[in-house]
């Protein structure tokens, strides 16, 4: 299906300064291309975020560029059900025909778009505009809904804005205490650890709340090994002690916040013995953590996916923000609340309109003023803009259903691996009338498509990314894509042209798209209107908001107030809720999921990099020795995990570094090794985040699983 005629990238004499294709740390790197087209990677010591360091994924990223499995021609599915190579013309014709058919039969909202946080700002913006202007569908959402959407929702309602870190990462080194709630940067952003190491070398303390003794927790002064799904209780319990012991910043609370009285009334009932009973964190450790935070002159509370990817993710984050506000942290030097955003452009990807309820500039699509502004920039009638559409899982759950999406375009996500309750998602994908996927490789999702569009990779394209600090940086092209491959910008514009909306998608360069994005964002919360490519080049990136030419950007937020109606931050009282699914006799353990160092997300890229595949060839299910003993299981043996939704197979890793009641699996693999066959799609009522981090599971040795009853949707 793929051809092996990858043309070598053109020679570039000067090394090109760009950024890693993977996570939100967006390490600066320089690429040099030799005369046979091989790309060499070096860390860029001049970029102030990673300061030259890269993790193993960054060092090896070039292996995916000239990879033998790279897609270099469009593929279309024939009547016999097979994918075969096709011309771009035929492939794009098929996409347009399918879109037109779905619209005629079922209306505009029957066409759906699923984007991703790995897309550049320009692509995210263009994809949102394409959905609203060329397709006129409400149904566009993206994988960021599965990522930091709970922190985004909590941040907006309390602080008035969602910028993952409201300060540059360098500020971490000066914090006397840092509390990490469910982040494991030692594996998920290794070069970030230099700031925690500096922090501790300066006498600071690191506290990590995680059910596992992760490589990050191993470097901490205090590890709170909480039961999955109890973050809000832990945070409420800490605030209870701070109030009891008179360690709240009363002046800050009075001057800069509202809602404290209700929060105080709620946390009164979270006395330490009760918190110990629910979270499993010993009273002495809880008290120690509260004392460290209460005595610190500067402190940070940072959440990761551990606390956020729950059906009560927004409440968990709100409880953490309450704690930060009660300590008077946001807006103070080396202090505050932050969310460690995950994907390469996880931050920018949520600002420019690929989210179901948003328009560019982090504007709400149901806000009449926002609609007027954006419609004017786009040169369309305001009434033609659709309203809010379905959130990611709800969109996937609607596929092929009456009133749901019948034709879907996926760009930048591998939902057949990364969405929750995969057996359902596979069934829904199979019931679509039409699926088009833009990809580098034949991913688990692309292999299900009717049309596959081969896309250019990071080193082959221009654009901007916004890192976890809200710093807008440039992705620069170092080499040409293989012949036969087109970049997503060209594909979106060509599809729009064929759908009759070409005049809204005429750009001479990617920079021109960025300029339009700036105008569309002007006056919105994520205002990029003062950012230019030249400004980014001259300053190692520019932090948004940057309203208007000549503005220097805003590295630190909240120094003079909060962008809320009253100018004060709002606290929300949070009451403990049990996870949607609790262990019982049939499924006696907690299952939680997350990441390994060597692999990135659904693994499409990293499972194809030989060095990474060798480092971590398959997913391991981590359990405690006493749990292994109880079920008669040995280290290294094959096990099958079962939940109410499905089964998946893993190799057992017995480790003291996990709670006795919990099993951990990474989600980087598909098929029978997919963690997401097991996960629970219960959604947070506000953010619509699925409960990836908590469900009930049973563990069986492979010898007990001979009844190979796989579900009908398994391929
Ligand atoms: N190597 C690697 N790095 C990555 C990625 C990758 O796929 N691979 N992906 C990137 C992306 S998109 C993201 S979002 C980030 C994610 O970065 P992290 O948030 O650091 O990653 P996770 O492993 O998902 O979750 C962090 C921790 O949460 C813990 N946890 C599980 N349940 C709970 C709970 O109930 N409460 C608490 N407090 N903790 C819990 C897990 O044990 C895990 O160690 O990483 C980015 N970097
Ligand atoms: N169980 C469980 N599931 C999870 C999580 C978890 O912790 N546990 N974490 C969730 C989180 S935080 C996230 S962010 C999601 C991520 O899950 P996915 O959305 O599946 O993320 P990726 O694997 O990065 O998928 C991106 C796909 O698009 C391709 N791609 C990358 N860049 C581009 C581009 O510019 N253009 C095009 N056309 N294609 C591109 C890549 O090859 C890859 O196949 O997974 C979520 N799923
Ligand atoms: S930390 Fe993230 S951005 Fe840096 S090299 Fe590793 S994967 Fe790439
Ligand atoms: Mo993510």
Tell me the per-residue pLDDT of 568-591, one tens digit each, with 9 for 90 and over: 999 999 999 999 999 999 999 999
Q: Kindly give the distance from the C-alpha atom of residue 343 to the centroid of ligand 3, in angstroms, as a whole number.
A: 10
Structure confidence at residue 704 (pLDDT): 54
Cα separation, 530 vs 535, whole angstroms: 9
Q: What is the C-alpha to C-alpha distance for residues 205 and 216, in angstroms, rounded to an integer?
A: 13
Distances from the Cα of 685 to the Cα of 391, 436, 711, angstroms: 11, 30, 29
Report the separation in Å between the CA atom of 116 and the middle of ligand 1, taken as the mean of its atom positions.
18
Residue 633 Cα to ligand 2 middle (Å): 33
**Which residue, 373, 305, 312, is CA-closest to 342?**
305
Please say if the pLDDT value at position 391 is more than 60. yes
Mean pLDDT for 644-657 is 98
- Measured by CA distance, the residue closest to atom 5 of ligand 3 is 58
CB-CB neighbours of 492 under 10 Å: 24
What is the atom index within ligand 3 of the atom nearest the CA of 58? 5
Residues with C-beta less than 6 Å from any ligand 2 atom: 116-119, 143, 146-147, 305, 309, 342-343, 411-414, 417-418, 438-441, 443, 455, 488, 593-594, 601-602, 604-605, 667, 675-676, 679, 692
How many helices and strands, by DSSP H and E, does the chain display? 23, 30
Question: Ligand 4 centroid vs 476 CA: distance in angstroms?
Answer: 23
- Separation of CA 10 and ligand 1 centre (Å): 37
E strand segments, 268-406? 299-303, 336-339, 358-359, 363-364
**Which phi-psi region, left, alpha or beta, contains residue 225 (left: φ > 0; alpha: ψ -120 to 50)?**
beta
Residue the block writes with tokens 């594909």: 491
Taking the CA of 22 as reference, the closest ligand is: 3
**C-alpha 313 to ligand 4 mean position (Å):** 14
Q: Ligand 4 centroid to 413 CA: how many Å?
A: 11
Q: What pLDDT sits at residue 35?
A: 84
Predicted pLDDT at 676: 98
Measured in Å, residue 420 CA sits from the centre of ligand 2 at: 13
pLDDT at 690 exceeding the cut of 60 = yes
Interval 243-272 mean pLDDT: 98
Can you give the pLDDT at residue 37?
84
Q: Locate all alpha helices (DSSP H) within 421-499, ordered by sequence.
A: 422-430, 488-498
The proportion of the chain whose per-residue pLDDT surpasses 90, expressed as a percent, equals 95
Which secondary structure element, helix H or strand E, spans residue 16, and what is its range? Answer: strand 16-19
Read off the pLDDT band of 702 (50, 70, 90): confident
Residue 174 clears pLDDT 70, i.e. is over it: yes
* CB-count exposure of residue 291 (10 Å: 0-12, 13-18, 19+): middle
pLDDT at 8 over 80: no
Given a cut of 50, whether residue 139 has pLDDT beyond it is yes
120/421 Cα distance (integer angstroms): 28
Q: Which of 182, 238, 190, 179 is nearest to 210 (CA)?
A: 182
Q: How far, in Å, CA of 416 to CA of 671, rounded?
A: 9
Instruction: Give percent of the chain with pLDDT exceeding 70.
Output: 96
Token pair 């339009």 in the structure block, residue:
516
β-pairing verdict for 257-258 and 299-303: unpaired
Higher pLDDT, 367 or 714: 367
Best residue for ligand 1 mutational test, from 142, 595, 598, 666 (most atoms within 8 Å of Cβ): 595
In this predicted structure, what is the pLDDT of residue 7?
43
Q: Is 22 close to ligand 3, i.e. is its CB under 6 Å away?
A: yes
| 61 CA closest ligand 3 atom index | 8
pLDDT at res. 4 = 37
User: Which residue's C-alpha comes closest to atom 6 of ligand 3?
Assistant: 55
Rounded to whole angstroms, the Cα distance separating 647 from 640 reads: 7
Which of 387, 389, 356, 348 lies closest to 371, judged by CA? 387
Ligand 4 mean position, distance from CA 646 (Å): 23
Q: What is the pTM of this model?
A: 0.96
Regarding the beta carbon of 239 and ligand 1, being less than 6 Å apart is answered: no
**Cα 216 to middle of ligand 1, angstroms:** 11
CB 436 within 8 A of CB 136: no
Longest Cα separation, the chain:
73
Query: Is the C-beta atom of 235 inside 6 A of ligand 1?
Result: no
- Pocket test of ligand 1: the residue of 192, 304, 339 to mutate, having most ligand atoms within 8 Å of its CB, is 304
> Which neighbouring-strand residues pair with 527?
none
The full 3-state SS of 22-86, as one line of letters, equals CECCCCEEEEEECCCCCEEEEECCCCCCCCCCCCHHHHCHHHHCCCCCCCCCCEEECCCCCEEEC
**Residues with C-beta atoms within 5 A of ion ligand 4:** 147, 342-343
Neighbours of 552 (CB within 10 A): 11
CB environment 318-348: b (16+ within 10 A), e (fewer): bbbbbbbbbbbbbbbebbbbbbbbbbbbbbb
Evaluate whether 701 touches 631 at the Cβ level (below 8 Å): yes
CA distance 44 to 532: 22
Count Cβ atoms within 10 A of the Cβ of residue 142 and give its class: 0-12 exposed, 13-18 middle, 19 or more buried. buried
Q: Is the CB of 187 under 6 A from ligand 1?
A: yes
Q: Which atom of ligand 1 is nearest to the CA of 600?
A: 7
Dihedral angle over CA of 199, 205, 210, 211, nearest 10: 140
Q: Give the ligand with the smallest distance to the CA of 192.
A: 3
Distance CA 70, CA 1 (A): 10
| CA separation for the pair 513, 535 (Å, rounded) | 16
Residue position matching structure tokens 């120094």: 559
């Amino acid at each position: 299906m793929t051809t092996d005629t990858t043309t070598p990238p053109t020679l570039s004499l000067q090394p090109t300064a760009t950024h890693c294709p993977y996570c939100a740390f967006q390490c600066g790197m320089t690429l040099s291309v030799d005369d046979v087209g091989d790309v060499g990677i070096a860390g860029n010591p001049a970029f102030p975020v990673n300061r030259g360091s890269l993790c193993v994924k960054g060092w090896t990223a070039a292996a995916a560029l000239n990879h033998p499995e790279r897609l270099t021609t469009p593929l279309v599915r024939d009547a016999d059900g097979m994918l075969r190579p096709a011309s771009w013309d035929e492939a794009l014709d098929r996409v347009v025909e399918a879109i037109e058919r779905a619209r005629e039969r079922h209306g505009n909202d029957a066409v759906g778009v699923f984007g991703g946080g790995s897309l550049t700002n320009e692509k995210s913006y263009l994809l949102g505009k394409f959905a609203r202007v060329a397709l006129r569908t409400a149904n566009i959402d993206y994988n960021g809904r599965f990522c930091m959407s709970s922190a985004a929702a909590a941040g907006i309602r309390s602080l008035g804005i969602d910028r993952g870190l409201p300060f540059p990462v360098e500020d971490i080194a000066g914090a006397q205490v840092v509390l990490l709630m469910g982040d494991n940067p030692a594996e998920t952003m290794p070069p970030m650890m230099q700031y925690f190491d500096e922090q501790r070398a300066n006498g600071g303390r690191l506290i990590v709340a995680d059910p596992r003794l992760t490589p990050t927790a191993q470097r901490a002064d205090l590890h709170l090994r909480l039961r999955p799904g109890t973050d809000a209780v832990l945070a409420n319990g800490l605030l209870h002690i701070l109030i009891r012991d008179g360690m709240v910043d009363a002046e800050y609370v009075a001057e800069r916040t509202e809602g404290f009285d209700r929060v105080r009334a709620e946390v009164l009932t979270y006395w330490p013995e009760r918190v110990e009973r629910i979270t499993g964190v010993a009273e002495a450790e809880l008290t120690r953590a509260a004392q460290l935070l209460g005595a610190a002159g500067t402190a940070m509370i940072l959440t990761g996916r551990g606390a956020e990817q729950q059906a009560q993710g927004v409440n968990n984050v709100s409880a953490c923000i309450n704690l930060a506000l009660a300590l008077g942290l946001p807006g103070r030097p080396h202090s505050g609340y932050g969310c460690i955003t995950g994907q390469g452009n996880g931050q920018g990807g949520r600002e420019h309109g690929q989210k179901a309820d948003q328009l560019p500039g982090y504007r709400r699509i149901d806000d009449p003023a926002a609609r007027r502004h954006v419609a004017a920039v786009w040169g369309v009638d305001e009434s033609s803009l659709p309203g809010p559409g379905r959130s990611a899982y709800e969109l996937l759950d609607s596929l092929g259903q009456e009133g749901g999406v019948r034709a879907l375009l996926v760009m930048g996500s591998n939902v057949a691996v990364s969405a929750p309750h995969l057996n359902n998602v596979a069934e829904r994908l199979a019931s679509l009338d039409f699926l088009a996927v833009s990809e580098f490789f034949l991913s688990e999702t692309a292999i299900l498509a009717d049309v596959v569009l081969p896309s250019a990779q990071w080193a082959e394209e221009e654009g901007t990314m916004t890192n976890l600090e809200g710093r807008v940086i440039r992705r620069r092209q170092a080499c040409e894509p293989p012949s036969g491959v087109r970049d997503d910008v060209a594909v979106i514009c060509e599809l729009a042209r064929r759908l009759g909306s070409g005049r809204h998608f005429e750009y001479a360069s990617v920079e021109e798209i960025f300029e339009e994005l700036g105008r569309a964002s002007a006056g919105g919360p994520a205002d990029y209107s003062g950012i230019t490519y030249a400004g980014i080049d001259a300053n190692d990136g520019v932090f948004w908001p940057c309203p208007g030419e000549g503005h220097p950007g805003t590295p630190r937020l909240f120094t003079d107030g909060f962008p809320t109606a009253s100018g004060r931050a709002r606290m929300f009282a949070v009451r403990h809720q049990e996870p949607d699914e609790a262990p019982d006799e049939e499924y006696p353990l907690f299952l939680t999921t997350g990441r390994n160092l060597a692999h990135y997300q659904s693994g499409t890229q990293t499972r194809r990099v030989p060095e990474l595949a060798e480092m971590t060839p398959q997913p391991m299910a981590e359990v405690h020795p006493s749990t292994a003993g109880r079920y008669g299981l040995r280290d290294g043996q094959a096990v099958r995990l079962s939940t109410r939704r499905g089964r998946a197979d893993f190799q057992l890793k017995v480790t003291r570094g996990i709670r006795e009641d919990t099993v951990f699996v990474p989600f980087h693999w598909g098929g029978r090794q997919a963690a997401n066959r097991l996960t629970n799609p219960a959604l947070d009522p506000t953010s619509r985040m699925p409960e990836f981090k908590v469900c009930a599971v049973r563990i069986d040795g492979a010898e007990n699983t001979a009844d190979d009853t796989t579900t009908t949707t398994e391929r």
